[in-house]
Structure 1
Amino acid sequence: MANFPVVDMGKLNTEERAAAMEIIKDACENWGFFELVNHGISIELMDTVERLTKEHYKKTMEQRFKEMVASKGLESVQSEINDLDWESTFFLRHLPVSNVSDNSDLDEEYRKTMKKFALELEKLAEQLLDLLCENLGLEKGYLKKVFYGSKGPNFGTKVSNYPPCPTPDLIKGLRAHTDAGGIILLFQDDKVSGLQLLKDDQWIDVPPMRHSIVINLGDQLEVITNGKYKSVMRRVIAQADDTRMSIASFYNPGDDAVISPAPALVKELDETSQVYPKFVFDDYMKLYAGLKFQAKEPRFEAMKANASVVDVGAIATV
């Protein structure tokens, strides 16, 4: 889509900074998504991540996926499937404690590369949070402090491959949902599309771009901004002919981080304007686990009802 928001981060240190910040602001308010170029992560590292991820899928994951499809009879379904996704995935945790070294499926080169990539993405996530603070009129570091909890943020990566699907009209690669957490950084296949977001009641393709990082906002940023920014529904359409690679890294609040609308964003309006609840992040995640593929609004309402009977205390900071 021609006007999909693309941010050239190289312009943030030039006289074009204001224009780049305005693209970020508009994207956060009206799209929930934007795409970064010149983000500072080396092309060589990204190419290595892509190569090793695709090699790992072929060597370790592809046969398992075919066996799963055969065991469930998915190659011959006749009606729409609503209770599973056509994807092959594994998860890596980076913060507060990494489990990358514990994954016996990964060879040493892939482990080292994913650790290095995660460090770069973590820096980029924290830079982006400060750019959002700047646009929101919040003090620098506010979002990072809110996310910190007592042990630091949660940060992990979901590595996915979406193999060719014989019935892409009947099985989604990934069913529609909003992301529960904070800020999501996606390195996606630049040759095979499939990711879509819902905007103005229409599904819009997130365009594949070589060496870009796609950013989308999770539910927690909607709450903290008191609805100024919105998390949006996204989904993945399975493809009939090609395998799509997706490496999504989630920079989320710590388990015991207390999430609520930033006071500065409530004060601008009248005192009844705080429309989002205050809650502990882990409580939200427990609720989300069973309601991921449903609308987010009832989740917020459930947390609001819970907050009325539970004192979640003060926000933990660094």
Structure 2
Amino acid sequence: MNCLQTWPEPIVRVQSLAESGIRKLPNRYIKPHNERPQLTLLNPQDDINVPVISLQDLFSGNESLREATLASISSACREWGFFQVVNHGVDPELMKRARDTWREFFEQPLEEKQRYANSPDTYEGYGSRLGVEKAALLDWSDYFFLHYMPPSLRKQEKWPSIPNSCRNLITEYGNEVVRLCGTLMKILSINLGLEEDQLQNAFGGENNDIGACLRVNFYPKCPQPDLTLGLSSHSDPGGITVLLPDENVPGLQVRKGNNWITVKPAPNSFIVNIGDQIQVLSNAIYKSVEHRVIANSVKGRVSLALFYNPKSDFVIEPMKQLITKDRPALYPAMTFDEYRLYVRTKGPCGKSQLESLKSLR
């Protein structure tokens, strides 16, 4: 996949800006008025939250409880595009260690982190911007991006060696979350009326054949959070995303109709959302949903997003079983690599990039 080899201008680390004591945002981070969060009106109804679903009844042997869980996930995928899962089988202590270890990485001196500085050809490493448009408005965040699956793409020399536990932890955490993704793919497939392995096969087959990558997000505290965003509105280009949130500092917002709902993380939960490739495969029965991240003036946040994606050269198109006379195929066939290149140059752009594919039919 051809992409720019260098960033169009010098990279500024957002964490360094935050720690310099600035009281006003640089203009590069100030969003247009219609994109700024209304921090005094985050949730008009405080009890609104994305659905929280326990997975324990999927394996209880009780068929009625299993069916109720499947129905809850189906409803969440159709109505929200987002849901939280608890009792998911991943050790809460591992989840805590993952957050703590990555927070420790971002607390390292800048020169240590700079050893892993990334470029836009793969994004792998320590970064501070998405998209390669010169003079683009930027988000208030740094990140670390790495490839996890297939195993042939893992470059452990590019993974942080400080703290000492980081590389082993990435492997342990990655294995557990990829396993969870395999379970979720079966659930989505069954709920669409397909054979349980059909979505997985459309992604490339077994877990070793699919793509998975991890982006660890660091959102430093911000002097003027009402003027910027930690991450601009977008839908995820891949398959499904499993996010380990910062339980102490909410920041993720999900678009629901004309409103932005601030997600309140449940204890020991993962936040799951549908990506563009599942929207294509399901012929828009399931929809990827716009989401964004707000900044905080008091505390920084760490979150871990694992993206579970199709094999890069697999052609993705609506499943034939989900195409009818009344619901023709909405999207053209395209490999994930082609789609990823299609969206990469501009960075986060709401849903406009996926919706524009319909004009290519």
Same fold (TM over 0.5): yes
- Residue in structure 2 matched with residue 23 of structure 1 by the alignment: 72
Deviations 1:270-291 (A, max 9, x none): 1662112211111111011124
Equivalent residue, structure 2, for 1:141: 197
Distance across 2 between alignment mates of 1:149 and 1:126: 10
1:88 aligns with 2:142: yes
Deviation digits for residues 204-234 of structure 1, max 9, x if unmatched? 0111222111000111111100010000100
Give the structure 1 partner of residue 18 of structure 2.
none
Change (3 A) 1:31 1:104: closer
| Code of the aligned partner of 2:182 | E
Alpha-carbon distance in 2 for matches of 1:86, 1:210 = 26
Aligned-residue offset at 1:113: 0.8
Shift of 1:255: 1.2
Q: Separation in 2 of the partners of 1:111 and 1:53? A: 11
- The answer to whether the 8 Å contact 2:141/2:217 transfers is yes
Residue-pair matches, total: 289
1:168-214 deviation digits (Å, cap 9, x = unpaired): 01111111111100000000100001100001110001112221110
Aligned residue for 1:261?
Answer: 318
Change (3 A) 1:105 1:170: farther
Distance 1:236 1:200, change over 3 A: same
Contact 2:160/2:166, CA 8 A, preserved across alignment: no
2:260 matched residue in structure 1: 203
Alpha-carbon separation, structure 2, partners of 1:63 and 1:198: 37
Q: What 5-or-longer segments of structure 1 have no aligned partner?
A: 66-80, 309-318
Give the match's secondary structure for 1:59. Answer: coil
Structure 1 CA distance, aligned partners of 2:327 and 2:93?
51
**Matches of 1:298 and 1:159 in 2, distance apart?**
24
- Residue of structure 2 in register with 1:288 after alignment: 343
Q: For the structure 1 residues 113 and 18, does the alpha-carbon distance in structure 2 shift closer, same or farther, using more than 3 Å as the test? A: same
Pick aligned residue for 1:158 from 190, 199, 215: 215
Q: Deviations over 1:269-314 (max 9, x none)?
A: 3166211221111111101112442243454434763xx7xxxxxx
Deviation of the 1:114 alpha carbon? 1.2
Q: Contact 1:34 / 1:214 at 8 angstroms: preserved in 2?
A: yes
- TM-score of the superposed pair, with normalisation by structure 1: 0.85
Instruction: Say whether residues 1:110 and 2:173 are aligned partners.
Output: no
The more displaced of 3-12 and 216-225 is: 3-12
- 2:309 is matched with 252
Distance 1:189 1:295, change over 3 A: closer
Shift of 1:13: 2.1
Distance 1:132 1:113, change over 3 A: same
Secondary structure at 1:117 match in 2:
helix
Change (3 A) 1:61 1:133: farther
The amino acid of 1:32's aligned partner reads G
CA-to-aligned-CA distance 1:134-191 (integer Å, 9 cap, x gap): 1001112111111118982110100111111001011111111111000000001000
Equivalent position amino acid for 1:293 in 2: P
Secondary structure of residue in 1 paired with 2:345 = helix
After superposition, what is the alpha-carbon deviation per residue over 1:23-81, rounded to whole angstroms, capped at 9, x for unaligned? 1001100101000000000112112112211211112469979xxxxxxxxxxxxxxx9
C-alpha separation in 1, matches of 2:160 and 2:248 = 29
**Corresponding position: 1:36 with 2:90:** no
Residue identity opposite 1:87 in structure 2:
S
Contact 1:149 1:256 in 2 (8 A): no
Distance 2:327 2:74 in 1: 25
Other-structure match for 2:30: none
1:272 and 1:200 mapped to 2: Cα distance?
Answer: 23
Query: Partner residue of 2:126?
Result: none
The separation in 2 between residues aligned to 1:107 and 1:164, in whole angstroms, is 23
What per-residue deviation string (whole Å, max 9, x for no partner) do you get for residues 99-132 of structure 1?
A: 2343255443111011100000110001100000
- For the residues of structure 1 that align with 2:201 and 2:95, how far apart are their CA atoms? 29
